[in-house]
């Protein structure tokens, strides 16, 4: 079987790596892929943009691709699945209608409210004056969210009413493009976040191991938000009891609500939840795809062949699959980032030490690299995900850190406290 993976981050490297562990998979093509996917045996990069639907479709049809797995949200929101399905291709990832659950926070909030899914109280606005007077009446802290996709930069957790009002002005002022045409203002929740990625065929939904990531750039979870500086799974805070409740109160309700809207959702439904200190939870958001970097710690623990689960979703027979099997233990990933990230940073720095890190038993997923005439260079803010799985969390953590210490590129930065909530 030949599979095409759409995307170029650490998530897609992990997907390609996991798929190629199965005997059923003879080849993986990554469009466009990165320096890491270029280096896996059996994997080939295809220099096409993630929204070049025609190019991807033609390649898939000509080369006998039997399954397309879409990594990022942008092509899903633009309708890659609708397009490829119309050409007779099998796609893992929701249609454009389903992707609204991530691509419009107002739409997702309405769905949660209709379905009775626990979430922060919220109101949606289409102009600044009403939004500002709402904020004034509610007081701070309060959360201001641009409706549309904003690459993780569209949410402001405002400590003061003035901050919230400035965020409202920025959003309606066009700073987030069309993402800011609607603004969602919601109650500020306090607690610990957890990511529950679930696989669904539109009828049945099954959670993967819960994960936690570290979004802030600085140690102690301080400083600016990033795409994620590290992650681990399973997240001890999401106990068996909590996961059973999330299944009933969030995942099954969401799938039923999507189905009631006539949406045939086949792919990943990812719930980002806030666990309250009382042991309750509320949904902060849904994503319509695998999380990055959560995927890099969930997939190493997965024992059931990934393509079997994905095909069961695409062919709508997930209910017939045996329970998902997991390795015992835990996985940890630590992100090596370019100096300056999430602000301005330089690219094109020579990367060394990956072989040494892997000789210690880690797997190094590439997030932002490219291969230039056999030389591996940095090509993004988040560069590498140094990942380890172990029988215990402590073993995995120690191994990931031993691995990252082997790696070098000019300006490299990583957090030294990944996993601090677990201890």
Ligand X SMILES: Nc1ncnc2c1ncn2[C@@H]1O[C@H](COP(=O)(O)OP(=O)(O)O)[C@@H](O)[C@H]1O
Summarize as ranges the residues that interact with ligand X (CB under 6 A): 120, 143, 152, 154-155, 157, 186-189, 193, 215, 272, 284-285
Q: Which 271-300 residues touch Mg ion, going by CB under 5 A?
A: 272
Judge residue 308's burial from the number of C-beta atoms within 10 Å of its C-beta, 0-12 exposed, 13-18 middle, 19 or more buried: middle
For residues 108 and 299, which CB has a smaller minimum distance to Mg ion in the complex? 108
What is the DSSP code string of 89-115?
Answer: --EES--HHHHHHHH-HHHHHHHHHHH
Contact of residue 191 among Mg ion, ligand X, none (CB under 5-8 Å per partner type): none
What gap in Å lies between CA 385 and CA 358, rounded to an integer?
12
Least separation in angstroms between residue 394's CB and ligand X is 26
Contact of residue 143 among Mg ion, ligand X, none (CB under 5-8 Å per partner type): ligand X
For residues 115 and 284, which CB has a smaller minimum distance to ligand X in the complex? 284
Least separation in angstroms between residue 225's CB and ligand X is 7
In angstroms, the Cα distances linking 72 to 30, 34, 49, 102 are 12, 14, 12, 11
What gap in Å lies between CA 37 and CA 51, rounded to an integer?
19
What gap in Å lies between CA 301 and CA 289, rounded to an integer?
18
Q: Which 157-176 residues touch Mg ion, going by CB under 5 A?
A: none
The residue with its CB nearest to Mg ion is 272
Least separation in angstroms between residue 272's CB and Mg ion is 5
Pick from 422, 423, 352: which is nearest to 194 by CA?
A: 422
Contact of residue 193 among Mg ion, ligand X, none (CB under 5-8 Å per partner type): ligand X
Contact of residue 55 among Mg ion, ligand X, none (CB under 5-8 Å per partner type): none
Structure tokens at 198: 């679930």
> Total number of residues binding Mg ion (CB under 5 A)?
1
From first CA to last CA, the distance across the chain in angstroms is 43
For residues 152 and 348, which CB has a smaller minimum distance to Mg ion in the complex? 152
For residues 8 and 287, which CB has a smaller minimum distance to Mg ion in the complex? 287
Structure tokens at 196: 């529950």
Contact of residue 361 among Mg ion, ligand X, none (CB under 5-8 Å per partner type): none
For residues 144 and 309, which CB has a smaller minimum distance to ligand X in the complex? 144
What gap in Å lies between CA 296 and CA 18, rounded to an integer?
10
Least separation in angstroms between residue 191's CB and Mg ion is 15
Pick from 338, 351, 328, 334: which is nearest to 398 by CA?
A: 334
For residues 120 and 288, which CB has a smaller minimum distance to ligand X in the complex? 120
The residue with its CB nearest to ligand X is 285
Binding track over 257-276 against Mg ion, x by CB under 5 A: ---------------x----
98, 67 in Cβ contact below 8 A?
no
Contact positions toward Mg ion, by CB under 5 A?
Answer: 272
């Amino acid at each position: 079987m030949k599979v095409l993976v759409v995307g170029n981050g650490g998530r897609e490297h992990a997907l390609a790596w996991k798929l190629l562990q199965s005997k059923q998979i003879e080849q993986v093509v990554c469009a466009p892929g990165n320096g890491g996917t270029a280096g896996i045996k059996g994997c080939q990069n295809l220099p096409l943009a993630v929204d070049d639907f025609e190019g991807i479709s033609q390649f898939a049809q000509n080369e006998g691709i039997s399954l397309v797995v879409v990594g990022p949200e942008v092509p899903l929101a633009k309708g890659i699945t609708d397009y490829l399905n119309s050409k007779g291709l099998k796609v893992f990832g929701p249609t454009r209608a389903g992707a609204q659950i991530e691509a419009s926070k107002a739409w997702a909030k309405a769905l949660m409210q209709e379905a009775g899914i626990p979430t922060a109280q919220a109101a949606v606005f289409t102009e600044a004056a009403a939004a500002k007077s709402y904020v004034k009446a509610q007081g701070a802290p309060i959360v201001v969210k641009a409706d549309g996709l904003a690459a993780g930069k569209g949410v402001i957790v405002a400590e003061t009413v003035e901050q919230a009002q400035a965020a409202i002005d920025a959003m309606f002022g066009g700073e987030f493009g069309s993402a800011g045409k609607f603004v969602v203002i919601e109650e500020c929740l306090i607690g610990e976040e957890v990511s529950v990625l679930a696989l669904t065929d539109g009828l049945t939904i099954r959670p993967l191991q819960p994960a936690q990531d570290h979004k802030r750039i600085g140690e102690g979870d301080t400083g600016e938000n990033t795409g994620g500086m590290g992650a681990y799974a399973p997240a001890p805070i999401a106990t068996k009891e909590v996961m059973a409740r999330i299944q009933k109160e969030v995942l099954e309700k969401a799938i039923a609500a999507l189905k009631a809207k006539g949406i045939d959702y086949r792919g990943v439904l990812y719930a980002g939840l806030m666990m309250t200190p009382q042991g309750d939870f509320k949904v902060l958001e849904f994503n319509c795809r695998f999380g990055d970097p959560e995927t890099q710690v969930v997939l190493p623990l997965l024992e059931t062949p990934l393509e079997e689960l994905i095909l069961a979703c695409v062919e709508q027979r997930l209910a017939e699959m045996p329970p998902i099997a997991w390795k015992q233990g835990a996985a940890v990933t630590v992100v090596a980032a370019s100096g300056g990230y999430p602000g301005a940073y330089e690219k094109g720095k020579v990367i060394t030490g990956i072989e040494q890190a892997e000789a210690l038993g880690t797997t190094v997923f590439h997030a932002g690299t490219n291969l230039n005439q056999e030389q591996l260079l940095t090509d993004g803010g988040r560069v590498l995900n140094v990942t380890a799985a172990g029988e215990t969390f402590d073993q995995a953590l120690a191994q990931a850190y031993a691995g990252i210490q082997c790696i070098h590129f000019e300006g490299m930065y990583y957090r030294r406290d990944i996993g601090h909530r677990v201890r």
